[in-house]
Amino acid sequence: MVSERMYALGTKKSTIRTIFEYGKKRAAEVGEENVYDFSIGNPNVPAPEAVKTAVIDILETMDSCLLHGYTVAPGDPQVRETIAASINRRFGTAFAGKNLFMTSGAAAAITICFKALHEDDADDEFIAFAPYFPEYACFVESVGARLSVVPANTDDFQIQFAELEKLLSPKTKAVIVNSPNNPSGVVYSEATIRKLAELLTAKEKEYGHPIFIISDEPYRELVYGGLTVPYITRYYRNTLVCYSWSKSLSLPGERIGYIAVPDEVSDFGRIYGAIAGAARVLTHVNASSLFQRVAARCVDEPSNIAAYEHNGELLYQGLVEAGFECQKPQGAFYLFPKALEQDDRAFCDRAKQYDLLLVPGSDFGCPGYFRAAYCIKESTICNSLPAFQKLAASYR
Amino acid sequence: MVSERMYALGTKKSTIRTIFEYGKKRAAEVGEENVYDFSIGNPNVPAPEAVKTAVIDILETMDSCLLHGYTVAPGDPQVRETIAASINRRFGTAFAGKNLFMTSGAAAAITICFKALHEDDADDEFIAFAPYFPEYACFVESVGARLSVVPANTDDFQIQFAELEKLLSPKTKAVIVNSPNNPSGVVYSEATIRKLAELLTAKEKEYGHPIFIISDEPYRELVYGGLTVPYITRYYRNTLVCYSWSKSLSLPGERIGYIAVPDEVSDFGRIYGAIAGAARVLTHVNASSLFQRVAARCVDEPSNIAAYEHNGELLYQGLVEAGFECQKPQGAFYLFPKALEQDDRAFCDRAKQYDLLLVPGSDFGCPGYFRAAYCIKESTICNSLPAFQKLAASYR
């Protein structure tokens, strides 16, 4: 009577959701302050005051029919010009408004790219690098293509190029880059991006067709210790940038982001046109007309990096002192330490006994590790450290 | 290199868009006041002041992380309870929050229903009644199903039941009802809905499976002359109601609406689950968290019916006086008069010579007619009437 695939996708709870709901239940039993919930990647920093100011000012100055009316599908032209100018200032690019397509957040942006690029009835593949955001698989499969995964490089969570090379084939439509990375918290270095660009350029020549990089960048602004995140269009022409203000302005519920399509991509017109078609059939009529304007007004508003950096450092130090092996926090708001036994699911189950709610690395295609989201109260992190100590001791 | 289908969908301009763009160009030549653009169904009535008040109040009183954070995919539970209670008060239904799934407008709502109901790899059909919103075809085909169209009943724009019966088959998944109708401006009577319910109930028995009514209701509140729009769930159990505040609160750019799934549908759990899965893969992560709350606050806010009713009456009288044959305005903000020659495209081309921008009925599956959207300035309607007179005279 209904689509079995849709039913399964709509009712099978993710591990993260299951852990999160367990946390709520447990908090009711033992008190919220005694549950250390590291499961959810939801910003805990409020949206900057500038967002509120912008909303109120826009409401008070703009004509209602214009403000709340449909925008053209790619988004308000002036909004796109403003955002393009900001990207250009910060990353030395040469975008105009016509290079941007406003979307309802990054999930829509990447899926629109998948749907635009996946050729009708072809046996196309997209490639992700473990550890990776598990919804990629769901989104890629929903457009009828296949996701292949390059195993994680657990030395430093950069790219295992030998493994990537094995997976690349004439069927490869695009590789998905997510840096700063969810869940590893690592930023791909300039050397990594250069090497990736070289390899893909060689393979494009070999196969005689473009291979795109889809750069999923919701965490672009959240980087620590003075690191820079290479702007990939400057290294590789066939790059589509998928951005969202969900994390940088703490607006995940408002669903606002964009796709940047550089002039240099192979056949700009065809790609931009296919993106418009994909947005249409995915029924993203236009991104919120109010939040398009808010994003434009707040485009140069700094993210509250200090709060996350402080939390990341606190958790990192605590984990290292407790004996965990972990990359230093570089970006996003996750740590991805090694579990204390091979079976990461068993490890996370044991952690629950200490009211530590952690997500198994297997969920991100990287067994033997776990994800701890530190976009939570500082006090929760402080109070959790003795529990991590006890958990570690239980393995000695 | 890209999906040819997506490219075609993203680049082929609709007739409406082409006419609208011609109108802008023409206005630059002869002055905006001399072009009578009846092409676009965009509300020209501002959002009620209550929307602005609600936004500001919500921003000033709610915690930012809660307000702008992700809601659960079906929408904020309290928002859904509030909206359900309002529907119950007005239509005598018995919805709870769990019966609603908040969506990014009606386009998303209906397409989510198509995707949820279309069984994997089946040869499913959806049925629309001409004249119909042309995006239905695009949305139905995008989920892999087929749209069949019942020819228009041009006597009164109710349903041609004999023609519907010919099209119904074991492959029929759902029929799409859009009343008040775009483009006819007609409201389906209670007798029509009863007869439809009877026929579908008989066919459900005959085929041994449910046939749904997908009720696309963005114009529900916009009805004139004291007409009532039957609430279809009260007449037929397997009804999914797709609502949007685009027209009633003049918020089309904000993309906010819902699907109502009554308890009585065949297997509520499977349908609601499949709807959640379809929303997920169409990457509607959640409807705007701010506008969910705004909709709940303004749920009982009356639409500015008087403004549209006045415009509709003015245009109707003018057209009738000029010699056009036309149904009285009943709802929405469209008139759908008979063209003055059989070829409605030729008629609309001739109308352009008088700077009257009209949309051919063929675009809505109903040749020989044209659509005139009256959600425009009163003065434009007044000033257009001599042009309609001249156009009519040119046919005598």
CB < 8 Å from A in window 265-294 of B? 266-267, 270-286, 288-291
**Does the model's pTM come out above 0.95?**
yes
CB–CB contact B2 A119 (8 Å):
yes
Name the residue among A252, A275, A283 with its Cβ closest to that of B108: A283
Chain A residue with the nearest C-alpha to that of B45: A65
Are B73 and A12 in contact, with CB atoms under 8 Å apart? no
Chain A residue with the nearest C-alpha to that of B255: A288
Chain A residue with the nearest C-alpha to that of B107: A283
Domain borders along chain B are: 4-47+303-393, 68-297
Judge whether residue A338 has pLDDT over 90: yes
Q: Which residues pair with A258 in a beta bridge?
A: A102, A243
Chain A residue with the nearest C-alpha to that of B69: A253
Predicted ipTM? 0.96
CA atoms within 13 A on the CB side of B247: 27
- Count CB neighbours of A168 within 10 A: 20
| Tokens describing residue A373 | 């989201």
CB–CB contact A116 B209 (8 Å):
no
Residue B238 has a pLDDT of 98
Per-residue pLDDT tens for A378-388?
A: 999 999 999 99
**Closest-CA residue to B281 (of A108, A128, A166):** A108
Q: Which residues of A touch B282 (CB under 8 A)?
A: 282-283
Are B277 and A5 in contact, with CB atoms under 8 Å apart? yes
Judge whether residue A229 has pLDDT over 90: yes
Fold of A69-297: Aspartate Aminotransferase; domain 2 (3.40.640)
pLDDT band, very low/low/confident/very high, at B222 (cuts 50, 70, 90): very high
pLDDT band, very low/low/confident/very high, at B184 (cuts 50, 70, 90): very high
Q: Which residues of A touch B67 (CB under 8 A)?
A: 253
CB < 8 Å from A in window 205-224 of B? 209-210
For residue A98, is it left (φ>0), alpha (ψ between -120 and 50) or beta?
alpha
pLDDT band, very low/low/confident/very high, at B168 (cuts 50, 70, 90): very high
Name the residue among A2, A271, A282 with its Cβ closest to that of B282: A282
Per-residue pLDDT tens for A184-217?
A: 999 999 999 999 999 999 999 999 999 999 999 9
Q: Which residues of A touch B279 (CB under 8 A)?
A: 10
Rounded to an integer, what distance in angstroms lies between the CA atom of residue B225 and that of residue A93?
Answer: 58
**Closest-CA residue to A197 (of A264, A273, A113, A271):** A264
Q: Which residues of B touch A271 (CB under 8 A)?
A: 1-2
Q: Is A119 on the interface with B (CB under 8 A)?
A: yes
Q: Which residues pair with B357 in a beta bridge?
A: B37
CB < 8 Å from B in window 173-202 of A? none
Q: Which residues pair with A214 in a beta bridge?
A: A176, A240
User: What counts of helices (H) and strands (E) characterise chain B?
Assistant: 14, 12
Chain position carrying tokens 């190029």: A161
CB < 8 Å from B in window 233-262 of A? 250-255
Judge whether residue A330 has pLDDT over 90: yes
- Count CB neighbours of A92 within 10 A: 10
The CATH homologous superfamily to which domain A4-47+303-393 belongs is Aspartate Aminotransferase, domain 1 (3.90.1150.10)
Rounded to an integer, what distance in angstroms lies between the CA atom of residue A1 and that of residue A8?
Answer: 13
CATH topology identical between A4-47+303-393 and A69-297? no
Rounded to an integer, what distance in angstroms lies between the CA atom of residue B279 and that of residue B290?
Answer: 19
Residue count (chain B): 396
To test the contact with chain B by mutation, choose from A281, A291, A377 the residue with the greatest count of B C-beta atoms within 10 A, namely A281
- The correct answer on CATH 3.30.70.2660 for the domain covering B68-297 is no
CB–CB contact B65 A44 (8 Å):
yes
Query: Which class for A324: exposed (0-12), middle (13-18), buried (19 or more C-beta within 10 A)?
Result: buried
CB–CB contact B7 A273 (8 Å):
yes
Sign of CA dihedral A161, A202, A212, A97: positive
Residue A315 has a pLDDT of 98
Q: Which residues of A touch B139 (CB under 8 A)?
A: 281, 283
Name the residue among B118, B254, B289 with its Cβ closest to that of A253: B289
